[in-house]
Amino acid sequence: MNHYSILRIAAKLLIPYILLYGLYVQFHGDFGPGGGFQAGVIFASGIILYGLVFGPEAARRVAPAGIVDRLIAVGVLVYAGTGVAGMLKGGQFLDYNVLAHDSTHGQHLGILLVELGVGITVSAVMVTIFFAFAARERTE
Amino acid sequence: MTEPIATRLIVILLLALLGWTEVTIARMRQLWAAVMLTGIFSFLGAGWMLILDAPDVAFTEAAVGAGIATFLMLATLGLTTREAKSPTAFKPLPLVVVIATGIVLVYGTLDMPHYGDRQAHIHTYPEPSYITKSNAEIQLPNIVTAILASYRGYDTLGETTVILTAGVGVILLLRNERRKPRDGVDPTAESTT
């Protein structure tokens, strides 16, 4: 799509705001609508838009397979790790009350961490699915 | 129900547009336009869920249904043709199956509680405690997040694992980067010997 300059410039203008909005939905999900799942999808759509306009090769340089593949697992590990951290601190699995000095702060911290895990896994999987489709060759 | 008349009009309009979009998609042979209409369908659905006071669900519908799903279908169209094959002949069996399924679904809704019913099952079981207790226990303005991430943390962990599994499945099934011949040997030739 090298010659569609309007598309390229519009995409370049939009992508930072899409990524920023993804982060906002991620970390503001405790207070407004949204959370890790929606944030992950929005963040991934920023990268996918880049891939659609500038080509999968350019997007692969932004999100290399080696990193994205690992991030899929990292998200689940962050989630489960938060649960294990609760066990190490003397509570039960996924008990956030013990994570901080008082139970409410512990809950806030735990929810923030597990939502972060969800967001990482979701956005990595969405980007992976896009590349899996985009990298395939056209079959008649 | 004591909704303002304007809200009712908007709901009727949205549902009518949803139905019209569905029929248009089903009748359409141009796949590009059909994909765009599925995105519009998701946006209309998201608008309707917003009226039902479910902003989190509306958000997800807009992000996943209108965003990612449209992207993925466009990417798929890039791999196949842009026109659907026109049906060869009228087949009665699919029509019967669709009508029967529709009747079953409508029959199922007859048992559902009315919209906004305080005595509905979800408001009385396990107990109406999530709304009252989360205010003291978790102190988050968004109770949906509090329930999903804390009270039902196991569910959400399972869901995240499902997404992980989906990602691993896609990598195993669709990724063809590893199938490139290594050291001049065609791997497909290896598998046949």
Per-10-residue mean pLDDT of chain A, 140 residues long, equals: 81 94 90 86 91 87 91 94 90 86 87 93 92 71
Q: Residue B126: which pLDDT band, with cuts at 50, 70 and 90? A: low
CB contact under 8 Å between B176 and A80, yes or no, is no
pLDDT, residue A73, reads: 93
CB contact under 8 Å between A34 and B58, yes or no, is no
Q: Write out the DSSP string of chain B.
A: ----HHHHHHHHHHHHHHHHHHHHHHH--BHHHHHHHHHHHHHHHHHHHHHTT-HHHHHHIIIIIIIIHHHHHHHHHHHS-SBPPPPSS--HHHHHHHHHHHHHHHHHHTTSPPTT-TTSHHHHSS-THHHHHHHHHT--S-HHHHIIIIITHHHHHHHHHHHHHHHHHHHHHH--GGGS-BTTB-HHHHHH-
CB contact under 8 Å between B67 and A72, yes or no, is no
Do the domain assignments include residue A140? no
CB contact under 8 Å between B71 and A45, yes or no, is yes
pLDDT, residue B2, reads: 60
The DSSP output letter for A101 is: S
Take residue B9 and report the two structure tokens written for it: 């009009």
β-bridge mates for residue B185, sequence order: B182
* CA dist., res. A37 & res. A51, Å (int): 21
- B153 to chain A: nearest residue by CA? A94
Query: How many domains are there within chain A?
Result: 1
Nearest to B166 among A96, A110, A125 (CB): A125
Domain residues for A73?
5-134
Do the domain assignments include residue A139? no
pLDDT, residue B189, reads: 46
pLDDT, residue B176, reads: 67
pLDDT, residue B144, reads: 82
What is the pLDDT averaged over residues B75-94? Answer: 80
Q: Is residue B5's pLDDT more than 80?
A: yes
Better-predicted residue by pLDDT, B74 or A50: A50
Q: Is residue B190's pLDDT more than 60?
A: no
Nearest to B176 among A94, A103, A136 (CB): A136
Give how far A88 is from chain B: nearest CA, Å.
17
pLDDT, residue A2, reads: 60
Q: Is residue B89's pLDDT more than 90?
A: no
Of the candidates A133, A135, A136, A128, the one whose C-alpha atom is nearest the C-alpha of residue A70 is A128
pLDDT, residue A119, reads: 94
pTM, entire model: 0.82
pLDDT, residue B34, reads: 92
CB contact under 8 Å between A34 and B59, yes or no, is yes
B170 contacts chain A (CB < 8 A) = yes
B137-174, pLDDT tens digit by residue?
A: 878 888 888 888 888 889 999 999 999 999 999 989 88
- B77: CB partners within 8 A, 6+ apart: B31, B32, B35
* CA dist., res. A109 & res. A95, Å (int): 11
Q: Is residue B191's pLDDT more than 50?
A: no
Q: Residue B192: which pLDDT band, with cuts at 50, 70 and 90? A: very low
pLDDT, residue B166, reads: 92
Do the domain assignments include residue A95? yes
Cβ contact B30:B56 at 8 Å = no
Q: Residue B193: which pLDDT band, with cuts at 50, 70 and 90? A: very low
Q: Give the dihedral sign, CA B156/B158/B159/B160.
A: positive
* CA dist., res. B51 & res. B116, Å (int): 12
Domain ranges for chain B, please list them: 1-83, 130-176
